[in-house]
Chains A and B, each alone.
Chain A
Amino acid sequence: MSTSYRDVSVASTAAAHDVASPSTPGSRPGASRDTRSSVFGGVRRNRQPLPPMTPGRGIIVWALTTACLLAAWFLLYVFALTPLAEARSQSILYGTFREQLALQVAPLGGAVKPGVPVALINAPGLDITDVVVVEGTAAGDLMAGPGHRRDTVLPGQRGVSVLYGRAAMFNGPFAGIATAKPGAVITVTTGQGVFTYVVTDVRHARDAFPQPLQSGEGRLTLATAQGSGRLGAWNPTGVVYLDAKLNGVALPYPPGRPAVVPTAETALQGDPSSLLPLTLSLPLLIGALVFMVWARSRWGGWQAWLVVLPLVLAAMWAVSQAAVQLLPNLV
């Protein structure tokens, strides 16, 4: 036991395992432990070994380390992995929408299933290039790209069309709208054609609404989260809106549009319904970890990691994907 926790700071998973399955020191030659620690990037230190730790303290260290790792994973997920997820979704959506436009089966309005592509927007002044808009504005819908609020008309139709988009996570497609200049052009392609909107203003809380529309006019409102400072979008304090006026005459829309949307689809709301996938995916993660412990004691270190690491990653991805939907949808 004299060197059991030596590498706790550099290879804490291994340390966690040692705590989880205390074993006799004699059963493991020090050489093999050293090999293992160097496999996991540990730095061998030629120092006097520390005295053994009490089991209570060991558990605390284990718990803290796990918390730290989980938090770090989640940060990695939101910063590095959500853009990947969004890019992939967009790629698929773009293909789907392109096909639908070509076949003239793209949705024209009414009751559209959440998650399906409804429009393609381009706005060079807002740093938006070929972004596919999906139907629905719940946190889960906005993971694939900007969402169209279901109780408003589609872009190009008479009235106000509202699109929500994330400012930070999942590539932050609407990150640029707070700095947009009036006069910038937004081009939207839907099943009804290509529409050009010109930005009229950028609105914050307590600013006056734009003037009511005359008959035959159309407006597009984009909304996203906004905070202060450079990374403000990651710690939002409110919502910023961008209004753009349609050039030309707006088109009529088909009936069947929902009159209201659930709270989860309004601005800055999380989606509580994702608690279900979260509770289903958490046991998956726990199961994978237990399997890991078992496999390690049975098969040895790297064999166990080889088999279990993909499982653990997949389970963590599933947990993260469910958990992130609990967060405000515009972040």
Chain B
Amino acid sequence: MSNQLVMYEEELQQISAICDVLQRDSNAKAVLVIDKNGQAMAHSGEVEHLDVTSLSSLTAGNVAATGGIAQLLSEKEFAGQFHEGEKTNVHISIVGARVIMVVLFDERSSLGLVRLRVRKAAAELTHVLEVLVKKSEAGNQPSVFAEITDDDIDNLFND
């Protein structure tokens, strides 16, 4: 099974730190980093009342659909999207062709500020992702599955 995404403590801390800085510097309500397949990876800000899992899945679906539209129009991808609400706005951008950065913001911020801050954060995030992918592909990290036995898997499904 190729292309498995693995997240380690060190990189998660770095990604979380990037989210924290972006959320603070852009006056955003919340920042989420999501895998393109819809898995939430990291977040920052006011997320207590958010259904992060659903938001991640729907955002990934949205990005996938937009990517499909891009292909039909002979575009490589639409790197950014903006949804304007009455109270909350959403800025969505693809980072490093692999993850999605979502910024939720209200009247305390502006699209211009968010775009400016996202650009800087995206560059930093791209770097961390490159390291993460290399580390994951090198395969010299211990795998959880090395310890898991067939019996462990069987036991999970025993009623």
Q: Do A and B bind each other?
A: no
